[in-house]
Amino acid sequence: MIIDKAVITAAGPAQRTLPLQHLIDRDGQERTVLAILIEEAAKAGMKEVAVVVYPGDEAACAAAAEGTPVKLHFIPQTGGAGYARAVWSAREFTGKEPFLHLVGDHLYVGDEAGACASRLVETATREKCAVSAVQATHEGLLPNYGAVGGQPLAAHTDLYAIERVVEKPTPTLAERSLVVAGLRTGHYLCFFGMHALTPAVMAILDEMLGENSGAAPSFSSALETLAARERYLALQMDARRYDLGASYGLFTAQAALALNGRDRDEVLTRLVQLLSANPARKAGL
Amino acid sequence: MERLIGIITSSEEAVRNTPLDAAIEGMSAVELLAACARLDGFRRETGNLYQRVRALFFLSSIHRYALPACGTIPSFGRIPFHAYEQLLERRFEESISILLDAVRTDGPSEAVSSALAAAYRGLAFQTLADQVRRSVRSIAGNQWMFRCGHAADYPLRLRPELMAQQGGRFPILRETTPVRMDLSHSAWSDIFFLGMDYPEGARVLNISIDLAISGRGEPRPPVEAHLRVIDRPVLRLVSVDLNAQVELSAVSEVFDFARDYLGLLKAAVIASGIVPPGMEGAATPLAAVLERLTGRAGHGIEIVSKVNDIPKGSRLAVSTNLLACLISACMRATSQVASLTGSMDEADRRLVAARAILGEWLGGSGGGWQDSGGVWPGMKLIRGVRAEAGDPEHGVSRGCLLPRHDLLGEDRAPEAAGRLLQDSLVLVHGGMAQDVGPILEMVTEKYLLRSAKEWEARGEAVGILDEVLDRLAKADVRGLGRLTQRNFDSPIQTIIPWAGNHYTQLLIDRAKAEFGERFWGFWMLGGMAGGGMGFLFDPQVKAAAQKRMQEILSETKRALEGGVPFAMEPVVYDFRINPRGSWSEMSGAGDGLMPPAYYVLTAPALLRRESRNLTPAQRADLEQFGARSRGGGEWGVAGSSLIDHLLPEAAAARSVSGTLDEMLEAHGFDRLQHEQIRADMKSGRIGLAQNRLPATARITNVDPGELPEVTGVHGRFVDLGRDALRRGSVAAVSLAGGAGSRWTRGAGVVKALNPFCKMGGRHRSFVEIHLAKSRRASRAYPLAIPHVFTTSYMTQGPFEGTLARENRYGYEGPLRLSPGRSVGLRFVPMARDLRFAWEETQQQVLDVQKQKVLESLRSGLIQWALASGEGTDYRDNLPQQCLHPTGHWFELPNMLRNGVLARLLAERPSLRTLMLHNIDTLGADVDAGLLGFHMDSGAAMTVEVIPRLLDDRGGGLARVDGRIRLVEGMALPDEELEFDLSFYNTGTMWIDIDRMLGVFGLTRAGLGGMAAVDAAVRKVAARMPSYVTIKDVKKRWGRGQEDIFPVAQFEKLWGDMTALPELDCRYVSVPRLRGQQLKDVAQLDGWVRDGSAGYVESLCEWR
């Protein structure tokens, strides 16, 4: 299985401007979020990247992605809203091939740039199946993520065979269906926002979103169907993901990039200055 | 291996089910004590929960019953006070250790055994309760709630559908839930402990039903819950039927269960995870939680509960199903239940049931595991499940906490059966609202002891359930009626005789008498009879039977209500089997409304505000209600009710206080004395703390050797007594002026007339039993013993009515009532007295959650006393409940003042002695030996005392500053002193009439001069101490609801006469069977098991 295509979704009405935001990357260069994501994909071996955009955002996104080393496609999301439909919009681009999928409102910060996507793609290629990156997440954050339940894979410490996928589960449901051996109490494997998927996903979305399909499904329900049809793994990531749409999300992502990059000492110094100038008046928060 | 341990651990069912009584039969006290030592070691070591608990019950039973029955261990023994303190604090292990040390040091005794029995029993129930609690917490889906302690970790979000605002208003989610009735519960097999130990025997046939009071419309689901978002950052809780509403803004308020009437709603909010139990004690503002929940700052939620006309005590698990209904709505709203509307899938129903168990525990109540059956539809068999590997209970108990619900399909419950059942069953609420808790404890204990006939009865009940299922499948409702009647008559009342009662038996007898073959059978619902009950009739007469049963219920209630605690007027229901179970619907944001009664309750406060100060949602809600109420129907009625609430009401034609004042006047209320007591109480001169004797008083024990013990046949005393009986020189006086408030927890009925147990084939009251003893004692002599019952304003009327109706129980001798001549008016208590009673004296600490609820309730009651005015007259209740008898000291002097003694003496000049006793000392009779002993001593008064056991609290016999006398418990300067006293006062006294009159400065001849008598009584009364006491009084309201208020009153007690130096008193130690007092219904089972009931019956001769 060779994966050299990526799909980045950036069409959500509430998140469409996030990929256009400028940040200072690990190398001290000012770049857009979209450019950082495309570079993550490129470093994982992607040759073509499709960005699913809100209709009319093509030009702005093209400008934000300028200078990236891959062939770019901008696909407007039409025919309805929803995350599942956004991915499905790229079905012609992916065709019958596996693909890497990143969400446009997250940034990934690991030991080095591109390490997360590379590790995911390597795993999917080696295991010859779909793999989603996941991270052990406290139950208090469950309302923000899709979560998976499954069994640890023999002879692996970071791979799980996925049995269930639930979008934003309640802790009640998570405790009944998504408990995974080896995790801390009250922690669940939640999506990292990065998936290496087989073409079967697009076939499932075809069934779900094609004509006469009824109500709009979630992308997680498509992935749950995938788990029922073929081998589907979860790869636990050590790196961190940052949700840019969350409160102080951009700020946190920027701080994480800076503290993992070239200017770490300088940024740390500035943070210390900030802390000393504002005694811990609200340290409790 | 020790035989008892072998029984507990055996893998063979036949051995494991050996009754304890059979296993220890013939064992000596030494052998029993050795067996106890081994059992105690075993229960400390075994890791198996039920083996431990069973060993504890064995130990308790041996100490309580078997050891005293041996008759070879001493009665007297000192119970270490520290052991008692530990017992009250629920530190059972520590208490047991101290008591076992006492046995090692001082040797065994009945007294210490009584304390050990209580400690082992307490530990057994505590261990079982802890296990249920652990199981509830460990159910997957519940655990997270105990970890979540801060808003930052709060994981629930409301469904977006509920956030869809329109015109300022949000949609309303409405959950409706049927209640459940059980065709058979296989002898209370739905008690958690039973299901977890004996899942094979735990089976219940449970039916979800809709209800309506007969004639008030079509049956509908009796409970409903409504939930919506509101535009203010508070949690708003409203109970439409209890007329209560509250807005909570702090997390701590959610956990304050007893502060108002909304404890059930709070328990639902917590058990559903909206404010998870892990947040108890968190400083997080509730607004922060609500912001996370709704996703919007400044928003909160409103939860409304409504019970449709179903009174409390219906035995239909209304409160558990309301709890489940509220929890369902909350869990649907937060996506914890998959479907927002419609029914639920099986997994979600089970989750709701588990949360309802959690909610009941949080609220300090407790139901059976079948109680949330209303969440499921139609008819179902609920059964225990064996714990398998992977279950949290595996390795701990044989069964799982949660049972399995099998819905009965057409093959097992054909439609015709359901229809026939509906056409045959007359479902009623008999009006009694009793506490079923003691019965469930008795059932558990008997099950674990495998008491022979009870265990056999359990087997029969399990068999009856199979037959019921068979009849149901064949749609044979007549056969069903035979089975439910047999179930009630045989296994249920064999295991717990107290599950039936006189009232129910009369109803059954009348149904049989009036409908003959067309009455198919009685059907007990829930834990005991008297509240919700069923009567099955031939469908052809059902309509007539339904009408007639209402009349029979009301007539029977009127006949018995003097002695039987009714909470409400009986009602007959219409019912229908509910095919849907708990069901939810959602209104649109623009047009949804809460139930009409909600607006009658909440609108007045909103209308009093300026319109501009209302939130958009409040304004829109009122507009919508206004529009709807102009359209007539139930909304129009609500509109009219609202206007009635808003406009001033004309004064009631006859105020309650008017009636109360008339009663005070009629019963000789002494206003001067009342004002003096009020002044003394307010100034602190009298009060609970001031009841005590001065700390300088020297109070020491009277050693057992100092008193004569009168047992068996007493030679010359018997002859002397018989001779006196032959001459007609003795009369019995039963003190029955008091209410016996512990018996009915302040219900205001007459304990003496309560037909509490079956003897000689039918239910008998205290009065009937006392008369039957006098009848038997008179049998051998030409003159029957005169019997006097002293009464009060409270008991005189019911006594007269009952004696007339029962034709004086056929008593052959003179039978007189001695009406009270004094009455007091209760006070709102002083807060300091409440604190003294609850905080400074030793109190029984309850199970953790119940204790929290109790403390919250007490704090509310202290606030009530402060707000109502400490020391003011207590008038906010029925007049009868505002008055109080002034203590039994007055009851004998009343016989002087009301002329009863004078008339007795005129009729029977040979009368010399009165045997005075409390109404609850059932073993007291006119015993020739004791009479002879008293006469021989020449004393003015001979007091019967018994060796003290643990439960004998309230003073005893002591040497005070050198004089032997009775001391009331509340007069002891130090509670520990009571534990040094060997003897307890039975309340039974032999009084020489002439010598007693002498103490009053009177003679037989002078009894006719009323002024002199009054003066004499007043003079002695002035020398008697007045005790301030706190009594619980019930206030009834709504539909069967009851509140209990602590009120202050004063009393003078007859035992203090023993302190008078001119009264020559003697004391005699009598056997416990004679001196045992029956004060609490929870004592009944032990009273039967320890042989007291049999002893009393042996003293009786029925007419």
Listed in sequence order, the residues at least 6 apart from B310 whose beta carbon sits closer than 8 Å to its beta carbon are B179, B211, B222, B223, B316, B318, B1039
Nearest residue on chain A to B273, judged by CA atoms? A172
Per-residue pLDDT, B283: 80
Q: What percent of chain A has pLDDT over 70?
A: 95
CB contact under 8 A, A140 and B336: no
Supply the pLDDT for residue B653: 44
| Chain B CB within 8 Å of residue A179 CB | yes
- How far off is chain A from B334, nearest CA to CA, in Å? 8
Give me the residue from A139, A143, A176 closest to B157, CB to CB.
A143
- Please, what is the angle between helix B437-449 and helix B110-138, to 10°? 100
Q: What is the largest CA-CA distance in chain A?
A: 61
Which is it for the CA torsion B507, B508, B509, B513, positive or negative?
positive
The reply to whether residue A140 touches residue B148, judged by beta carbons under 8 angstroms, is yes
Helix, strand, coil percent values for chain A (each to nearest 5): 35, 25, 35
Say whether A172 and B153 touch across the interface (CB within 8 A): no
Tokens of B687: 């009060």
pLDDT of residue A285: 43
Are the beta carbons of B1043 and B887 closer than 8 angstroms? no
For an interface test with B, which of A137, A164, A170 has the most B Cβ atoms less than 10 Å from its Cβ? A170
Q: What angle do CA B400, B403, B408 make, to 5 degrees?
A: 155
Taking the Cβ of residue B143 and every Cβ of chain A, the question of whether any pair is shorter than 8 Å is answered with yes
Q: Which residues of A touch B347 (CB under 8 A)?
A: 176
Interface contact flag, B141 A176, Cβ < 8 Å: yes
Query: Searching chain B, which residue's CA lies closest to the CA of residue A141?
Result: B155
Q: Which residues of B touch A143 (CB under 8 A)?
A: 155-157
A170 to chain B: which residues are within 8 Å by CB? 155-156, 334-336
Helix H or strand E encompassing A151? strand A146-152
B347 and chain A in contact, CB less than 8 A: yes
Q: Which residue type occupies B933?
A: F
Provide DSSP, B538-553.
-GGGHHHHHHHHHHHH
Confidence of residue A284 (pLDDT cuts 50, 70, 90): very low
Residue corresponding to tokens 């016989």 = B895
pLDDT of residue A215: 61
Residue B148 clears pLDDT 50, i.e. is over it = yes
- The Cα–Cα gap between B274 and B268 comes to 9
Note whether B140 contacts A: Cβ–Cβ < 8 A. Answer: yes
pLDDT surpasses 90 at B326: yes
CA distance B19 to chain A (A): 41
**Distances B941 to B93, B890, B915, B988, B1064 between C-alpha atoms, Å:** 44, 17, 10, 10, 6
Residues of chain A neighbouring B142 (CB-CB closer than 8 A): 172, 175
pLDDT in tens, B55-109: 999 999 999 999 999 989 998 999 999 999 999 888 999 999 999 999 999 999 9
Residue written as tokens 């001493």? B74
Query: Closest approach of chain B CAs to the CA of A190, in angstroms?
Result: 14
Residue B147 forms contact with A (CB below 8 Å)? yes
User: What residues in B contact A172, CB-CB < 8 Å?
Assistant: 141-142, 144, 273, 331, 336, 351
Asked if pLDDT for residue B654 goes beyond 60, the answer is no
Q: Which residues from A are below 8 Å from B344, CB to CB? A: none
Q: What is the β-pairing status of strands A30-32 and A48-53?
A: unpaired
**Contact status, residue B871 vs residue B682, Cβ threshold 8 Å:** yes
Q: Which residues of A touch B273 (CB under 8 A)?
A: 171-172
**A144 interfacial to chain B (CB closer than 8 Å):** no
Measured between beta carbons, which residues in chain A are less than 8 angstroms from residue B153?
138-140
Q: Indicate the residue of A142, A179, A185 with minimum beta-carbon distance to B155.
A: A142
**Global model pTM greater than 0.90:** no
At B274, is the pLDDT very low, low, confident or very high (cuts 50, 70, 90)?
A: very high
Residue B364: which pLDDT band, with cuts at 50, 70 and 90?
Answer: low
Contact present, B363 and B419 (Cβ < 8 Å): no
Return the higher-pLDDT residue of B847 and B394. Answer: B394
Per the CB < 8 A criterion, the answer to whether B318 and B307 are in contact is yes
For B696-795, where are the E strands, in sequence order? 699-701, 730-735, 757-759, 762-764, 787-790
How far apart CA B653 and CA A37 sit, in angstroms, is: 83
Q: What is the mean predicted confidence (pLDDT) over B672-692? A: 86
Check residue B205 and give its pLDDT.
94
The position carrying tokens 């409102």 is A105
pLDDT at residue B14 tops 50: yes
Structure token digits, residue B44: 């400390």
Query: What residues in A contact B141, CB-CB < 8 Å?
Result: 172-173, 175-176
Q: A145: which chain B residues are within 8 Å (Cβ-Cβ)?
A: none
Nearest CB partner across the interface for B155, out of A143, A179, A185: A143
* β B983-992/B963-968 pair status: unpaired
Interface contact B394, partner A, CB < 8 A: no
Q: Nearest CA to CA, how far is B104 from chain A (Å)?
A: 48
B-chain residue closest to A172, CA distance = B141
Interior angle at CA B1086, CA B1081 and CA B1090, nearest 5? 140
Rounded average pLDDT over B571-600: 91
B334 in contact with A at a CB cutoff of 8 Å? yes
Half-sphere exposure of B22 (CA within 13 A, CB side): 13
Query: What is the reported pLDDT for A156?
Result: 87
B283 inside 8 A of chain A by CB: no
Q: Which of A:65-104 have CB within 8 Å of B?
A: none
| Mean pLDDT (chain A, rounded) | 91
Contact criterion met (CB < 8 Å) for B141 and A179: no
Give which of B159, B336, B349 to mutate to test A binding, by max A Cβ within 10 Å.
Answer: B336
Q: Is the pLDDT of residue B28 over 80?
A: yes
Q: Report CB contact under 8 Å: B144, A173.
A: no
Contact B154/A at CB under 8 A: yes
Q: What tokens were used for B148? A: 């979540």
**ipTM (interface predicted TM):** 0.80
pLDDT in tens, A51-64: 999 999 999 999 99
Percent of chain B clearing pLDDT 70 (strictly above): 97
Range B107-128 average pLDDT: 94
Residue of A nearest to B348 (CA): A173
- Interatomic CA distance for residues B356 and B733, integer angstroms: 52
- Mind listing the pLDDT tens digit for each residue in B997-1038? 999 999 999 898 888 998 999 899 889 988 999 888 888 776
The span from the CA of B499 to the CA of B523, in Å, is 12
**Chain B, nearest residue to A170 by Cα:** B336
Residue of higher predicted confidence among B588 and B405:
B405
CB contact under 8 A, B155 and A141: yes
Asked if the Cβ–Cβ distance from B144 to A139 is below 8 Å, we say: yes
Q: How confident is the model at residue B947 (pLDDT cuts 50, 70, 90)?
A: very high
Nearest CB neighbour to B153, from listed A140, A170, A175 = A140
- The whole-angstrom distance between A247's CA and the closest CA on chain B is 13
CB contact (8 A) between residue A139 and residue B336? no
Q: List Cα–Cα distances, A33 to A104, A107, A195, A248, B557, in angstroms.
A: 8, 8, 18, 15, 81
List the single best residue of B137, B143, B274, B339 to mutate versus A (max A Cβ within 10 A).
Answer: B143
Token pair 């629920």 is at which residue? B90
Judged against a pLDDT cut of 70, whether residue B741 lies above it is answered with: no
pLDDT(B331) > 60 = yes
How confident is the model over B499-507, as a mean pLDDT?
Answer: 94
- Cβ separation of A172 and B147 shorter than 8 Å? no
Q: Among positive and negative, which fits the CA dihedral B6, B12, B16, B18? A: negative
User: Could you tell me the end-to-end alpha-carbon distance of chain B, in angstroms, rounded to an integer?
Assistant: 53
Query: For chains A and B, what is the number of CB pairs under 8 angstroms?
Result: 52
Three-state secondary-structure class, residue A207: helix
